Chain A
Amino acid sequence: MSSVTSRAHSLRQRGVFGANASDRVFRWGLFVFAASVLAIIVVLGYELAHASLPSMRHFGWRFLITSRWDPVHYVFGALPFVYGTLVSSFLALLIAVPIGLGAAVFLAELSPRWLRGPVSFLVELLAAVPSIVYGLWGIFVLLPALRPVQVWLGQHLGFLPLFQGPAYGIGMMAAGLILAIMVIPFITAVSREVLQAVPASQREAAYALGATRWEALRGPVFRYARAGILGAIILGLGRAVGETMAVTMVIGNRPDISLSLLSPSYTLASALANEFLEATVQIHTSALLELALILFAITVVINAIARAMLWSVSRGMAQGVRE
């Protein structure tokens, strides 16, 4: 691949490209379209920062650690939302990572060829189901099914702070479960690609030494794929953090910090969906936009880390191939 572009460069350097005016116009036209993507991100960052200035000036750093959200007394704080977002996402990962990785291993290593296509299509379809449909299913199927489970958990494991409080059905547990289902296909798809990109030579060398499939996987394959799999997991985290509709419909919309998985909670995205059109006082709107800025920053950082890990894997692969 690199040979193609380097030769293209040399063609350009030889002055073959861009010789006509029409080609120059062409190149500039394309440039504008490409640059518009940069422009969108810059405008987004600017608008969010600009609109949250009043809130930032008023509350300062305390905004990040205040746990009250009180529109009557104009006291706003991001902590309950950040807590809800991070806890629901980590809960989702706790469930999605073992399942997603297991499925990726199955698809990449173990599955017979005829099964691979249909199964990977099914997993892809899970990613294609819209969030709103997950939410609808969540309200009418998951929540009623979850309530007796939560009652049982409260009765038998209620001494743990994790399972205290009334069993609403609605709450952190439901949100974590739905997010897990939504994140599994991402982890599976990316991990599977990473596993498949491990050069065959590594596996073959391990088998030649008498390793079982598991030992080959655990050893050389995993060492190669480690960074990529971590990148896949972090990508899944990024998806979970930004998820809005399904979470809004099952999480309970209560800006509270509680250790119990049975209690209702609130995420950054849900707060924005519920309150954005309705904030009538400027400080309320500004506080909401500061929440949007925080959410934006979190997702940018998470995605940057994930991409960096995945990019380092592909670079490592290329180097490995050249060896």
Chain B
Amino acid sequence: MRSVWRSSWALVVVLSVLIAGCAREAQGPATGQLTLTGAGATFPYPLYSKWFSEYAKVNPQVRINYQSIGSGGGIQQLKAGTVDFGASDAPLSNEELKSMPGPVVHIPTVAGAVVIACNLPGGPDEVRLTPEIIGDIYLGDIKRWNDHRIAAANPGARLPDLPVVVAHRSDGSGTTYIFTHYLAAVRKAWADRVGAGKSVDWPVGIGGKGNEGVTGVVKQTPGGIGYVELAYAVQNSLASARVRNAAGNFVKPTLSTTQAAASGAAEAMKKDVRVSIVNAKAADAYPIAGFTYLLVYRDQANRAKGEALVKFLDWAIHDGQRLAEPLLYAALPPDIVIIDEAALRTIRFQGKPLLEK
């Protein structure tokens, strides 16, 4: 009996120490360390994750915890006020902006390519796909890989007789936003039946959670096809299709073709950063690409957090950009960096801009 008493007291002591420790930390960081919480897009997650890990070394006073829950999640949690910043590849529409509790600043951080990843055992290394084929696959009209339409675009290639296993996002996604805008632009049937957005009523396919989930489905299912960000496909050795762009060329999704798609956007961004770069006109532009944004409130409620946030964003659009290219994200063209700097200067606390420059 005594041992039971002793062990229960021991348990109580341990619990109280744990909770007291937590409570003390909860009262405020003793070392002056600040934690910021962000959530949102899975599209730039490999890069953002690297950024926050590097920035913790650059500025050990600030720790930024980012969780990739999808662009829709980023927007919703920013709206609910449960995170300090959001990340989304789908910019907020005017309607959505109005429903936010305060004005929101969009900071484009990098551009990325949405590749069509394919799992074709025994098939060609690089399948060529036209916009019509992609649309028909996602509409459910093309059901097998050796369909004559795919064969016509890939003369001489041996296509396996596998069913096409379509994968899409099950969560609210900016990647879906970019992809469905592309489909709506190139295929009228898609625009009429399904439309574009972060979450749509998919005619066919399996839902995966996040870019991670879709990549997982494609990787593990022979015959799988899915739309994922370039870094995910490359890091997981998935074959990406060559897509025919607006100029008629079958373009491979690479860093340079993404940059080609992004470079033409600077002019349009001067008016509104929420620019779509799908189906870009340049001859070597990859047609399914998009910018990704960090979303912050223009009027910050907490001075320390606001300052830390703005300092990080400043680092991200300058020093952080050199981490983008090794991960196959297109760095911001210099014109857009200038637009971003101006946007950063509008972020303020109690009316005064937070960025001293």
To the question of whether A and B form a pair in one complex, the answer is yes
B207-A275 in contact (CB<8A):
no
Residues of A within 8 A of B221 (CB): 168-170
A274-B170 in contact (CB<8A):
yes
Q: Point out the residue from A70, A167, A266, A279 that lies within 8 Å of B201, measured CB to CB.
A: A70
B96-A170 in contact (CB<8A):
no
Within 8 A of A (CB), among B227-244: none
B154 in contact (CB, < 8 A): no
Q: Point out the residue from B70, B163, B196 that lies within 8 Å of A166, measured CB to CB.
A: B163
- How close is A175's CB to chain B, nearest CB, in angstroms? 13
- How close is B201's CB to chain A, nearest CB, in angstroms? 4
Q: Point out the residue from B77, B194, B200, B209 that lies within 8 Å of A253, measured CB to CB.
A: B209
Instruction: For A75, give the chain B residue with the smallest CB separation.
Output: B201
Q: A71-B197, A72-B195, A253-B207 are in contact. Are A279 and B170 (CB under 8 A)?
A: no
- How close is A294's CB to chain B, nearest CB, in angstroms? 19
Q: A168-B206, A169-B221, A170-B206 are in contact. Are A68 and B72 (CB under 8 A)?
A: no
A280 in contact (CB, < 8 A): yes
C-alpha gap A240/B45 in the complex (Å): 34
A254 in contact (CB, < 8 A): yes
Instruction: For B90, give the chain A residue with the smallest CB separation.
Output: A280
A29 in contact (CB, < 8 A): no
Binary A-proximity of B202-222 (CB < 8 A = 1, otherwise 0): 100111110000001100110
Instruction: For B92, give the chain A residue with the smallest CB separation.
Output: A280
Residues of B within 8 A of A170 (CB): 206, 217, 221
B205-A254 in contact (CB<8A):
yes
A73 in contact (CB, < 8 A): yes
C-alpha gap A240/B215 in the complex (Å): 28
A72-B194 in contact (CB<8A):
yes
B77-A72 in contact (CB<8A):
no
C-alpha gap A312/B281 in the complex (Å): 74
Q: Point out the residue from B96, B143, B194, B196 that lies within 8 Å of A280, measured CB to CB.
A: B96
C-alpha gap A228/B201 in the complex (Å): 44
A72-B200 in contact (CB<8A):
yes
B129 in contact (CB, < 8 A): no
B199-A72 in contact (CB<8A):
yes
Residues of A within 8 A of B209 (CB): 248, 253, 274
Residues of B within 8 A of A68 (CB): 201
Q: A166-B163, A254-B206, A280-B79 are in contact. Are A275 and B171 (CB under 8 A)?
A: yes
Residues of B within 8 A of A75 (CB): 201
User: Max chain B CB contacts within 10 Å: which of A73, A139, A170, A253?
Assistant: A253
A323 in contact (CB, < 8 A): no
Binary A-proximity of B318-350 (CB < 8 A = 1, otherwise 0): 000000000000000000000000000000000
A280-B206 in contact (CB<8A):
no
- How close is A132's CB to chain B, nearest CB, in angstroms? 14
C-alpha gap A253/B173 in the complex (Å): 15
A98 in contact (CB, < 8 A): no
Binary A-proximity of B39-77 (CB < 8 A = 1, otherwise 0): 000000000000000000000000000000110110111
C-alpha gap A275/B198 in the complex (Å): 12
C-alpha gap A143/B70 in the complex (Å): 25
Q: A68-B201, A70-B201, A168-B165 are in contact. Are A277 and B73 (CB under 8 A)?
A: yes
C-alpha gap A144/B206 in the complex (Å): 16
Instruction: For A263, give the chain B residue with the smallest CB separation.
Output: B206
Binary B-proximity of A210-249 (CB < 8 A = 1, otherwise 0): 0000000000000000000000000000000000000010
- How close is B37's CB to chain A, nearest CB, in angstroms? 13
B112 in contact (CB, < 8 A): no
Q: Point out the residue from A72, A169, A254, A279 that lies within 8 Å of B207, measured CB to CB.
A: A254
Q: A71-B200, A72-B195, A72-B199 are in contact. Are A277 and B69 (CB under 8 A)?
A: yes
Instruction: For A270, give the chain B residue with the smallest CB separation.
Output: B170
B170-A253 in contact (CB<8A):
yes
- How close is A75's CB to chain B, nearest CB, in angstroms? 8
B79-A73 in contact (CB<8A):
no
B69-A70 in contact (CB<8A):
no
A69 in contact (CB, < 8 A): yes
Residues of A within 8 A of B72 (CB): 278-280
- How close is A69's CB to chain B, nearest CB, in angstroms? 7
Q: A170-B217, A252-B206 are in contact. Are A280 and B165 (CB under 8 A)?
A: no
B38 in contact (CB, < 8 A): no
A176 in contact (CB, < 8 A): no
A264 in contact (CB, < 8 A): yes
B172 in contact (CB, < 8 A): yes
Q: A72-B196, A253-B207 are in contact. Are A278 and B171 (CB under 8 A)?
A: yes
A280-B195 in contact (CB<8A):
no
C-alpha gap A280/B165 in the complex (Å): 29
Within 8 A of A (CB), among B116-175: 143, 163, 165, 170-172
A278-B172 in contact (CB<8A):
yes
- How close is A244's CB to chain B, nearest CB, in angstroms? 13
Instruction: For B95, give the chain A residue with the smallest CB separation.
Output: A281
C-alpha gap A170/B221 in the complex (Å): 9
Instruction: For B210, give the chain A residue with the smallest CB separation.
Output: A274
Binary B-proximity of A55-75 (CB < 8 A = 1, otherwise 0): 000000000000011111101
25 A-B pairs in the complex with CB atoms less than 8 angstroms apart: A68-B201, A71-B199, A71-B200, A71-B201, A72-B195, A72-B196, A72-B199, A72-B200, A139-B216, A139-B220, A166-B223, A170-B206, A170-B217, A252-B207, A253-B206, A253-B208, A253-B209, A274-B170, A274-B171, A275-B170, A275-B172, A277-B70, A277-B77, A280-B76, A280-B96
Apart from the given pairs A280-B72, A280-B172, 13 other A-B contacts in the complex at a CB distance below 8 Å: A70-B200, A70-B201, A71-B172, A71-B198, A72-B196, A72-B197, A73-B201, A253-B208, A266-B207, A274-B170, A277-B73, A278-B198, A279-B172
